[in-house]
Structure formats: structure tokens, C-alpha cells
């Protein structure tokens, strides 16, 4: 856990995001405990997601739906992934990572998730392409993440009630 905290602090100096990891040590410690295999780039990805949301991935509704559907079809069987059904992004929690299992398990429809992702991308600033991060191979191997980013208010109003029923 000390390694990931140190990596996170290093990240502060390398990237400019809307939130500083130094402002949210509790959230950082929870993340480090939940994902001990996480690398520096996984923390950078989380900060990126909280700042920019899903906008950099969205071209149009048809491609968004196709991309989600294709990924949902190739996912592991439900319950195999060690990734939660949903989790808030790090410090500001502007967004939520919504596991695609919610579609495969019948919690929400593809249409509902696509709509939420598209609306979450509206009005978001576009990042410099060099800032876009991907999960590290270690993170992918350990947790098998398959999710989409949804704005917190949309998630809590429209998706969370369907997951909790």
C-alpha cells in the first residue's frame, strides 16, 4: 500500500487534473487497499476519468452502443470479474465506473447505459490525447475491468435504483 501512495503523490507532479491526490488521502488509501495491483498509470486513469468523464471515447450514439455491446459480449461470465458493479471515481467523485455486468446480469438495458454515457459526455472538456491513460497490464490481469463512466447525478438518479432492486 505504501508503494501506491508514493506513486500517487508522484502523479500529482506529472499531470494537471481538476483534483489533487494530496487533497483526498482517505480516498487514495481506499483505492490502494481495494486494488493492490494498481500501478501509477491506473491512478492517473482514475484522475483523468474524474476530470474528463467519458467524452474522449464518444463519437456518436451508434458507435457508443456497438462498443459497449461488443465489450459486454466478450466479458467473463457474470461474477468472475473482481471488479465491483459500480464505484465512484477518486476524490471529487464526479463520475461513477459502471461495470458492464449490469447489462449482462439484466440490471439495466444497453439503451439505458448508452443514454447515460452519452449525456455524461455532454459539455465535458476534451483532453489532450497525450493525457488519455489505459489500465496497466497488472490491473487488467488482476481485476478484469469492463465498465463505462457515467456522471454521478445521472448514475444515482437513473441507474443505481435499477441495480439495487
80-89 tens-digit pLDDT: 466 788 999 8
Q: How many domains does the chain have?
A: 1
Three-class SS of residue 149?
strand
Find cell 447505459 and name the residue. Answer: 113
| Spacing of C-alpha 138 from chain mean position | 16
pLDDT mean across residues, the chain: 79
pLDDT at 95: 93
16-46 tens-digit pLDDT: 555 555 567 777 788 888 999 999 888 888 8
Q: Among the ranges 8-22, 44-58, 60-74, 112-126, which has the highest mean pLDDT value?
A: 112-126
102-150 tens-digit pLDDT: 887 768 998 999 999 999 988 888 888 887 888 999 999 888 888 999 9
Strand order, beta sheet including 95-99: 86-88, 95-99, 147-151
What H or E segment, with its residue span, contains residue 97?
strand 95-99
pLDDT at 57: 65
Find cell 476530470 and name the residue. Answer: 51
- Where residue 10 falls among pLDDT bands split at 50, 70, 90? very low
Domain assignment of residue 36, given as a range: 2-163
pLDDT at 156 over 90: yes
Amino acid at each position: 500500500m505504501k508503494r501506491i501512495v508514493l506513486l500517487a503523490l508522484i502523479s500529482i507532479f506529472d499531470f494537471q487534473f481538476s483534483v489533487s491526490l494530496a487533497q483526498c488521502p482517505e480516498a487514495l488509501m481506499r483505492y490502494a487497499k481495494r486494488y493492490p495491483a494498481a500501478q501509477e498509470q491506473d491512478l492517473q486513469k482514475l484522475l483523468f476519468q474524474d476530470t474528463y468523464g467519458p467524452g474522449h471515447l464518444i463519437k456518436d450514439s451508434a458507435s457508443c452502443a456497438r462498443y459497449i455491446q461488443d465489450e459486454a459480449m466478450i466479458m467473463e461470465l457474470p461474477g468472475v470479474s473482481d471488479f465491483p458493479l459500480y464505484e465512484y471515481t477518486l476524490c471529487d467523485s464526479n463520475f461513477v465506473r459502471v461495470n458492464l455486468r449490469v447489462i449482462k446480469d439484466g440490471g439495466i438495458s444497453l439503451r439505458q447505459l448508452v443514454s447515460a454515457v452519452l449525456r455524461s459526455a455532454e459539455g465535458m472538456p476534451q483532453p489532450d490525447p497525450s493525457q488519455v491513460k489505459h489500465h496497466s497490464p497488472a490491473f487488467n490481469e488482476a481485476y478484469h475491468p469492463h465498465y463505462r463512466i457515467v456522471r454521478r447525478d445521472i448514475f444515482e438518479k437513473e441507474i443505481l435504483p435499477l441495480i439495487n432492486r
